[in-house]
Structure 1
């Protein structure tokens, strides 16, 4: 019988061959059909062991992540006008609160102070004269009141002028790192008054000096001893988060430290359909190795209980309404013991009733036993070097399985 005739008589389902290599000669070519046999399976090894019920600390947490930022960042600027006469710091300088950053000349503010004092003296003299000349009439009393008000206004002007003189020396309001210094000696500062902001944006040039405007701060100081992280917490978790919750924080390099929730936002934001709420965490203390802008992983602890009796969750079996663990009696025999369970956190389950600390509980560990071929794996691949005879691996036309159902 020819090979083609023999093959066409085989039912189609017999083409499913496991662990068989069929070699067909057709037109001088050798064709391989390989259907790998599945790896032999063996029953998993069961390795029972015992662990003691123990007291643990159980936590319920909400996970999030954010970026570390300095809790203190101050933009510092001159509030008075004048020409910069000294700049004592530059970007990268570490300063203490009260350190002098820069100064401007005091010609203008000194003149304003002298004028204010002269005005005050004149107002006080008028008040004194009106009081001496008063006969108690309503008009005289009204004049005295008016002169008294003038004295008050003049005194306020003197106080403001004295403050401007002091403001000619710009000092650091907080300790930290100077991250920006935008003024130079010779710059003409156009003070911003009580707003306290000024800048070094390009302005008009007169001779060799530049008049700066109030578009940016003269200095920026970032605190290095106080940090915070802005987190985004999902709408399903935000109800669990409260101000004063402790937060476990970590960096990518494994550095761990702690913080406290100091603010929980009430207004959500939506990004790609996900609703989140802002949560601000303030770092506790001054841990080393913190820098502005580094990524932080956060676990907000909204519940923590200590001395909770627990066993490995794999030791607990629940069937219907009954939950049990397997313990050992005095003779080492296994005994099914009913228990009442509480929370499950990670791989630990709380035991509310039925066990005591130190009770030995059986835990069964399943280790899959792998059946392999000589090489350790069943790859189902063709032998090394490809198909013998230069064949393509496709079944020749005259060897195709019949399309009929066959019986």
Structure 2
């Protein structure tokens, strides 16, 4: 059979299949010798990560959690007796400090004030008579002293009666939202205060409520509604732009917390807020099985976005130092009380150096001697899977096959960098291949 006859006898489909196989074989060869084999050779190269010794701010903190509450929650009631003549606000209203909330009638209060003034005038007249009749005897001197004391008592009664007149107008002790109103026009208010009575009438003229600018009465929790004998407040006012957090700190950490410490707070969505420690309790609670001390934190500013009941993570900063030379803790190896790092020169050469370390915070270690700012140190090295199919090796500067401190290679890369051939970095440092 001639060659021509042979080729004609072979089906065309067979020739097509043979052609495809030949092209695939050529392509596979090109890929294997042009890409795969060189890539496997490159993969055996060791990848290193470095960081730069840099100045940082080192902090020591106490961490806890808490719930935001209004910094102000006033229970406001009248400190005098009388019938409610006006209620100026309703639940849900926003009030300013010193704004009028309600008033009571002043008929009895005016009578008490007039009686107190009359008693004062009488006491002064008695004193004048005693002074005129004084003849130097012990009895006369005693009468003058008694009259002077009566004048002082009468003056105090007038002052109390005047305060009671001012207290007939109840004002907001702080700005905020009126969250509850438990009083209405016509209610009879009975003072439960320990204020004195004006002489001559027996009517109560004063209460425990203080006075604000302008002479008007402020909050008192001692008065109640006579119609129901209830001790509930007439008004409840809460702040809407002033917030606080009450937390508990264990007995181990409480010694580090002092009034005025700065506080960093964050909500679940990552929003950051700041504050200060406003109060540290002296008596612990043991309800949780261990002693814990109450600590109150005042949030700085108006706390935009906060509301009553939101949960926050809290870091109380009790020590902060700036310009501290530090490197990632992964770069430090400590054995038998001696700490070392591997310094990487600009030409890639490595040298193990003994250093002295200080505090550790946020995955960084303070270096007190042995390094200078700007020195490059080896954090970790990694040899990927080789061409021979071995499992690869992970190396640190001490050659143990693990990272400093015994950690495995971080999944997904190094902090601030990557696991590939591109130079990664650490916060405050630099990284790259050497």
- Give the TM-score, by structure 1 length: 0.71
Alpha-carbon contact 2:191-2:224 (below 8 Å) kept: no
Alignment of 1:221-370 (within 5 A): 221-364=237-380, 366=382
Larger displacement relative to structure 2 (287-296 or 77-86): 287-296
Deviation at 1:53, TM superposition (A): 1.5
Residues of 2 paired with 1:357 and 1:310: CA distance? 9
Larger displacement relative to structure 2 (98-107 or 254-263): 254-263
Give the structure 1 partner of residue 180 of structure 2: 180
CA distance 1:302–1:148, change in 2 (3 Å): closer
Alignment of 1:119-268 (within 5 A): 119-193=119-193, 194-195=207-208, 196-197=220-221, 211-213=227-229, 215-268=231-284
Deviation at 1:87, TM superposition (A): 0.6
Give the structure 2 partner of residue 387 of structure 1: none
Alignment deviations for residues 123-182 of structure 1 (CA, whole Å, 9 cap, x no partner): 223333333344444433333333332222222222211211111111112222222211
Give the structure 1 partner of residue 99 of structure 2: 99
Give the structure 2 partner of residue 74 of structure 1: 74
Residues of 2 paired with 1:171 and 1:367: CA distance? 75
CA distance 1:132–1:319, change in 2 (3 Å): closer
Alpha-carbon contact 1:46-1:364 (below 8 Å) kept: no
Residues of 1 paired with 2:65 and 2:278: CA distance? 16
Give the structure 1 partner of residue 403 of structure 2: none
Alignment of 1:22-41 (within 5 A): none
**Alignment length, in residue pairs?**
320
CA distance 1:117–1:214, change in 2 (3 Å): farther
Secondary structure of 2:286's aligned partner: strand
Residues of 2 paired with 1:320 and 1:136: CA distance? 95
Alignment deviations for residues 253-302 of structure 1 (CA, whole Å, 9 cap, x no partner): 22212222233333322234233222222223333223333222111112
Runs in 1 of length 4+ with deviation above 6 angstroms?
none
CA distance 1:321–1:197, change in 2 (3 Å): closer
Alpha-carbon contact 1:190-1:198 (below 8 Å) kept: no
Deviation at 1:95, TM superposition (A): 1.7
Residues of 1 paired with 2:381 and 2:371: CA distance? 21
Alpha-carbon contact 1:84-1:103 (below 8 Å) kept: yes
Alpha-carbon contact 2:192-2:224 (below 8 Å) kept: no
Alpha-carbon contact 2:243-2:303 (below 8 Å) kept: no
Give the RMSD, CA atoms, in angstroms: 2.7
Choose between structure 1 and 2: higher helix proportion. Answer: 2
Give the structure 2 partner of residue 110 of structure 1: 110
Give the structure 1 partner of residue 20 of structure 2: none
Secondary structure of 1:326's aligned partner: strand
Residues of 2 paired with 1:116 and 1:311: CA distance? 78
Structure of higher RCO (CA pairs closer than 8 Å, 6+ residues apart): 1
Alpha-carbon contact 1:188-1:212 (below 8 Å) kept: no
Residues of 2 paired with 1:216 and 1:300: CA distance? 36
CA distance 1:101–1:330, change in 2 (3 Å): closer
CA distance 1:213–1:361, change in 2 (3 Å): same
Alpha-carbon contact 2:358-2:365 (below 8 Å) kept: yes
Residues of 2 paired with 1:67 and 1:44: CA distance? 54
Residues of 2 paired with 1:367 and 1:200: CA distance? 80
Give the structure 1 partner of residue 86 of structure 2: 86
Residues of 2 paired with 1:66 and 1:81: CA distance? 41
Specify every segment of 5 or more residues in structure 1 that has no aligned partner in the other structure, as ranges. 1-42, 204-210, 372-407
Choose between structure 1 and 2: higher strand proportion. Answer: 1
